[in-house]
Amino acid sequence: MTVFSAEAVAEATSTRQHLHANPELKYEEHATADLVATRLRDLGYAVTTGLAETGVVAVLDTGRPGPTIAFRADMDALPIVEETGLLYASRNPGKMHACGHDGHTASLLLAARGLAGIHDRLCGQVKLLFQPAEEGGLGAARMIEAGALNGVDAIYGYHNRPGYPLGRVFAKTGPAMGGSTLYDVTISGKGGHASRPDLAIDPIFVGTAVVQGLQSVISRRLSPLESGVVTVTQFHGGNSHNIIPVAAKLSINTRDGSPAAYELIDRELRRVVAQICEAHGAVATVEQQMRIPPVVNNADETDFTVATAIEIYGADQAGRIDTLPTMGAEDFAFYLERVPGCFFFVGNGEDGAYLHHPLYNYRDEILPVAAGMFLAIAERRLGHAVSN
């Protein structure tokens, strides 16, 4: 089992709580990035800043030939008012680390310290990716565009997972988190007076039919063996008490458990919207605003990651999961579309608030668990190359 010194864990804990108290939203992570870059330079890493605006990439080059592996942590917070009452609660009103990115960053910094201490036993290179804007900003895609993934042979990352035993490490082969798509829908009708709806084409009335009809996409079109969700998150129409508006606007968020499920949901959503609107004499415009694909883990890398976790933490604290632990999306998916890898999970405790909740808090006890996984993966991937 990988063990970090008490002093190293204490520093990681202090760092995590400092980051929690000073959250920054997507593409605003300037202070966080400065802290990360300073720590990594002090450890001897070659550091590049400013990727995807606020991203940081650090390279540990052993000077010996071998593969290049990457580890990733996300840095951004959420626009949520914190209600935990912690001594280190957010000092930035309306901003909160409600998803644990403070812990992801602190644990990778802890791993960086451990890796620097064993670099003589490794071959090849380790790249550390500290990414901005995971929360709806497509930060991973922009990091890739900036070259962060160049030369990387495999990549690994993790997410803390409330609702699972504290410190338990687990992973799933294939789709491991849901894909997410955002749509803006405009329903154009014909305005008129509230007293004469017969002379108008009421986009609000049509919109309510669309909201109801969209539920058939999952219940009647998607196989019950697949996973999917369609949610209308916004509905705006009209600005007067006695006027039927010309148009109404809807925002729709869909989730899918596989590329095949996404293709069906996308096709059927567009069909349902168009045909319901046509049936009422209205016209619909559907625009896809954002798409994050499902996190699809490579089979071999998942086998390796699970075996590593069991080896260092034991079968009671590590293993495989066969069902989607969440339909939440993660832009780590973009990395996995380019190179093989594994996105694993570390339990954040069975009690406590869920992600994106104002009472959520990352558990400091799992910092050395996650960091230990990164260190063990590097030892097994790059240490093996020494004997070749």
Binding residues for Mn(2+): 99, 101, 135, 159, 356
Question: At 200, which amino acid appears?
Answer: A
Tell me which residue of 72, 22, 80 sits closest to 52, measured CA to CA: 72
Instruction: Give the tokens for residue 203.
Output: 């986009």
Burial of 241 (0-12, 13-18, 19+ CB in 10 A): exposed
Strands, DSSP E only, in 122-178? 125-131, 154-161, 169-171, 174-177
Instruction: Give the tokens for residue 107.
Output: 């644990």
b/e burial code for range 49-60 (CB count within 10 A of at least 16 → b): bebbbbbbbbbb
Number of H helices, E strands in the chain: 9, 16
d(CA 253, CA 39): 38
Q: From the annotation, which residues make up the binding site?
A: 99, 101, 135, 159, 356
Instruction: Give the tokens for residue 381.
Output: 């991937």
d(CA 230, CA 386): 50
Instruction: Give the tokens for residue 138.
Output: 């497509």
d(CA 1, CA 312): 4
d(CA 24, CA 227): 33
